[in-house]
Amino acid sequence: MSNQLFDAYFTAPAMREVFSDRGRLQGMLDFEAALARAEAAAGLVPHSAVAAIEAACHAERYDVGALANAIATAGNSAIPLVKALGKVIASGVPEAERYVHLGAT
């Protein structure tokens, strides 16, 4: 959905990017990467899993439309995002998938 009528009046271009679909998705992925790093620092997640999680936390790797549809049916954004993130990680480093979103819910 576009806000062309009022975006130019009520917000700056930099903030439109932050609150765009890709910007919001990247923020959620940044959280997942930070969670993995923090849990590794606390000894809950192996450091080897962190690199795989971080590598998967780039918004351009995800289909925003598919995530939007999944979020609409799930009723929240976390479950579909974690599932999509897990699939990306499992395709490269399957053993790291089990550490995604560990203990966050």
What are phi and psi for residue 62, nearest 5 degrees?
-120, 150
- The one-digit pLDDT tens for each residue of the chain (105 residues) are 556 777 777 778 888 777 789 999 999 999 999 999 999 999 999 999 999 999 999 999 999 999 999 999 998 999 999 999 999 999 999 999 999 999 997
pTM over 0.75: yes
Q: Which fold is adopted by the domain 8-99?
A: Fumarase C; Chain B, domain 1 (1.10.275)
Any idea where the domains of the chain sit in the sequence? 8-99
